[in-house]
Structure 1
Amino acid sequence: MSLKQYVVLVVDDERVVREGCRRILEAEGYRILIAKDGEEAMEIVQSSHVDLVLADLKMPGIGGLELLAWIKSNYPGLPAIIITGHGSRQLESQCEDAGALGLISKPFMAREVVDAVKSAL
């Protein structure tokens, strides 16, 4: 019997962050889908199986909190983690209130991402 391969959707407008998360999580055995913004992320969630969303807070157009609200409204069982370069206790509280399972501050260490994803799944 094989272990389930979880699918993580990484959403960030910065290519270096998307690719960094991809490398980190693929090395841990996760299948990674990539979106460059919130709108593309919504299309992927609607058309593909996703187990977890890892989304940047500030992106052009639909940002992380708007994406999170949409996920909670349309896919209430889908867990999400927010990534931000502007971390604060107030922001962490705001993200948790919106339904995020965690907040990862940039720059981050690979272990932080892996631990947050494992905890959420």
Structure 2
Amino acid sequence: MSNILIVDDEPNILLSLEFLFKKEGYKVFIARDGEEAMTLIQESVPELVILDIMMPKVDGYEVCKYLKQRHKGVKVIFLTAKSKTQEIQKGLDLGADLYLTKPFSTKELVSKVKSLMS
């Protein structure tokens, strides 16, 4: 079973994505900010991280940088409201495998996750 870590400071997004991916058969962990995410990653490295950028304490860019320095094989999907070209480029430059903007299609997200995990 594949492990997914979902990191977002928006409770509704956390709940809906946790439900969605559990229903798809994934083992799901959640974190409400980047600091919590980095603690969870130290305890158990996920195969994929779905990551918001704008969060309290530590932002998604820092979490991605941290992940890619220590665990190169972990897939990262940025799921964020930041949609400017330079923000997208920064995310991809840090090693994100995919950059999706909010609002998003859950169907598309599930499909992208499945293709990244296969």
Same fold? TM cut 0.5: yes
Gap regions ≥5 residues in structure 1: none
**Cα RMSD between the aligned structures?**
1.2
2:33 corresponds in structure 1 to 37
Say which of 77, 80, 86 aligns to 1:81: 77
> In structure 1, how many angstroms separate the alpha carbons of the residues matched to 2:74 and 2:11?
24
> In structure 2, how many angstroms separate the alpha carbons of the residues matched to 1:26 and 1:88?
31
How far did 1:22 drift?
0.8
> In structure 1, how many angstroms separate the alpha carbons of the residues matched to 2:82 and 2:108?
16
- Conservation of the 8 A alpha-carbon contact between 1:104 and 1:112: no
Gap regions ≥5 residues in structure 2: none
> In structure 1, how many angstroms separate the alpha carbons of the residues matched to 2:39 and 2:31?
9
Say which of 80, 87, 90 aligns to 1:91: 87
TM-score, normalized by length of structure 1?
0.90
**What amino acid maps onto 2:114 in structure 1?**
K
How far did 1:41 drift?
0.6
Name the SS of the counterpart of 2:103 in structure 1.
Answer: coil
TM-score, normalized by length of structure 2?
0.92
Asked whether 1:19 is paired with 2:6, we answer no
- Conservation of the 8 A alpha-carbon contact between 2:61 and 2:94: yes
- Conservation of the 8 A alpha-carbon contact between 2:5 and 2:30: yes
Kindly, what percent of the aligned residue pairs are identical? Answer: 35
Asked whether 1:113 is paired with 2:109, we answer yes
**What amino acid maps onto 1:59 in structure 2?**
M
